[in-house]
Amino acid sequence: MIKIPNLRKQKGMTSVEFAVVGGVFFVVLFAIMEFGRVMFVMNMLDEITRRGARLAAVCPVDAASQTFVSNQARFNGDYLSELTTEMVDIEYFEEDGDPADLSNPTSAVTLIRYVRASINGYQHQLLIPGFNVTVPVPDFSTTIPSESLGVHPDGSSASCT
């Protein structure tokens, strides 16, 4: 006679198996989604430096325009709210690569040949449940040749704000 195993001993086994397999599955699922989020953030940081350098190359060299460029470059904080204007640096360089002297903006415009936008100090907060981890992100920068710097061909100057 064949003995049938007692099914009462098997009750709840499905729940235990789901707890083990489901836990691993959800951690992997959240890790995949977080990897996609990290890639999005890296792409956004690169785009922010490109956009900031492009705007700085055509806007006047003054404090108000630099604040405007920093805000516009980071899309006014709509996509990366953790990225502040203090993390976005706009720098101007002369032809030999030395930083331009901005104490006299009118004479500096003739000497400035390159504009650099960079992001320093940004950290990415992971959203994986159970893991409260902040990941430091490498600094990003984009350098391009300067263009009009807000000066029109007729000698007048325009504001970007």
The phi and psi torsions of 114 (rounded to 5 degrees) equal -135, 150
3: three-class secondary structure by DSSP? coil
Ranges of each domain in the chain: 14-145
Mean pLDDT, the chain, as a whole number?
87
pTM of this prediction?
0.81
How does pLDDT run across 95-139, given as a tens digit for each residue? 998 998 888 767 778 889 999 999 999 999 888 767 788 888 999
Instruction: Give residue 55's pLDDT band: very low, low, confident or very high (50, 70, 90).
Output: very high
Tell me the C-alpha distance between 149 and 16, whole Å. 66
